């Protein structure tokens, strides 16, 4: 066999490299509208979806999947990092962007939801024009405790201490201990509570919503009532690595 010249060898190597670069990036596996995206060895991974926004439906990793910190949506794709592995579906509706998050812009409209986030534990104010608000979905591992890490003042929601959550206008909430819902609780009300490093954690629960139930386990560690989570006097407690979303019956 005639030996290759240095020029021929360089051309062959260049063509081989170009051929490798031309291969399409692996796509996330999709089944029944569900996309699995996985951060391996704590590296960031981007999974193309074509969706404007995504919703986590099942966490597969022991590492936390915390929206905005270890996963999120951007430019028609989902990104995951720091060991987050999970399954996602398309979130219908879409966020309007802007400083306050929310649907269709910064100001909340009747029946709509506003996302307000405290980044780096700093206080953040999101204009809504509401007199009162209620937390409908906690997004952060840090607790969202009304009056301590979130509240309403002068037509705006404020958050601090790392609280990140979705809020809706609270109609007919007069404040104080009485009144509230006419029984059965608000079906949209939920609280996410996390046991970090297997330590016990308590999260405030609005007693007007009745007794909480586990809606979605977010941790690799088991969440078992009476062993790694429970409820007492307006407080949900979690331990032994349990991280979950709790809601009304």
pTM of the predicted model as reported, rounded to 2 decimal places: 0.35
- Sequence-distant (6+) residues with CB within 8 A of 245 are 137, 138, 190, 191, 192, 214, 215, 216, 218
- Sequence-distant (6+) residues with CB within 8 A of 64 are 70, 82, 84, 141, 194, 196, 218, 219, 243
- Sequence-distant (6+) residues with CB within 8 A of 213 are 246, 247, 248, 249
CA 158 – CA 164 distance, rounded (Å): 10
Residues 121, 156: contact at Cβ < 8 Å? no
Percent share of the chain, pLDDT over 70: 72
Strand locations in 91-208 (E): 113-117, 124-127, 133-138, 150-153, 156-159, 164-169, 190-194, 201-204
Residues 221, 190: contact at Cβ < 8 Å? no
pLDDT at 221: 83
- Could you give the strand order of the β-sheet that contains 235-238, starting from the edge strand earlier in sequence? 201-204, 235-238, 229-232
Average pLDDT over residues 137-145: 83
pLDDT in tens, 147-174: 788 888 878 888 988 888 888 887 654 3
pLDDT at 249 over 80: no
Residues 89, 33: contact at Cβ < 8 Å? yes
CA 158 – CA 167 distance, rounded (Å): 11
pLDDT at 64: 83
Average pLDDT over residues 48-75: 83
pLDDT at 200: 86
- Please list, residue by residue across 156-191, b when 16 or more beta carbons sit within 10 angstroms of its beta carbon and e when fewer do: bbbbbbbbbbbbbbbeebeeeeeebbeeebbeebbb
Average pLDDT over residues 94-109: 37
CA 54 – CA 22 distance, rounded (Å): 28
CA-CA distances (angstroms) from residue 108 to 105, 117, 191?
A: 8, 15, 21
Whole-number CA gyration radius for the chain: 23
Find the range with the poorest average confidence among 71-80, 82-91, 100-109, 127-136: 100-109
Coil, strand or helix: which one is 216?
Answer: strand
């Amino acid at each position: 066999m005639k030996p290759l010249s240095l020029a021929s060898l360089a051309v062959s190597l260049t063509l081989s490299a170009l051929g490798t670069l031309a291969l399409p990036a692996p796509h996330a596996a999709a089944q029944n509208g569900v996309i699995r995206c996985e951060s391996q060895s704590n590296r960031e991974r981007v999974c193309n979806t074509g969706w404007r926004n995504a919703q986590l439906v099942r966490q597969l990793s022991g590492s936390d999947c915390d929206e905005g910190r270890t996963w999120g949506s951007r430019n028609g794709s989902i990104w995951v990092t720091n060991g987050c592995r999970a399954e996602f579906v398309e979130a219908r509706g879409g966020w309007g962007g802007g400083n306050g998050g929310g649907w269709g812009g910064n100001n909340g409209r009747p029946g709509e939801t506003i996302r307000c986030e405290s980044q780096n534990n700093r206080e953040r104010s999101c204009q809504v024009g509401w007199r009162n608000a209620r937390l409908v979905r906690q997004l952060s591992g840090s607790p969202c405790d009304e009056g301590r890490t979130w509240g309403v003042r002068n037509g705006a929601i404020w958050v601090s201490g790392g609280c990140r959550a979705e809020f809706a206008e609270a109609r007919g909430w007069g404040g104080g201990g009485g009144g509230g819902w006419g029984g059965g609780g608000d079906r949209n009300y939920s609280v996410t509570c996390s046991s970090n490093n297997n330590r016990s954690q308590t999260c405030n629960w609005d007693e007007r919503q009745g007794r909480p139930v586990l809606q979605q386990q977010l941790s690799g560690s088991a969440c078992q009532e009476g062993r790694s989570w429970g409820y007492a006097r307006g407080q949900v407690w979690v331990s032994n690595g349990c991280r979950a979303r709790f809601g009304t019956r």
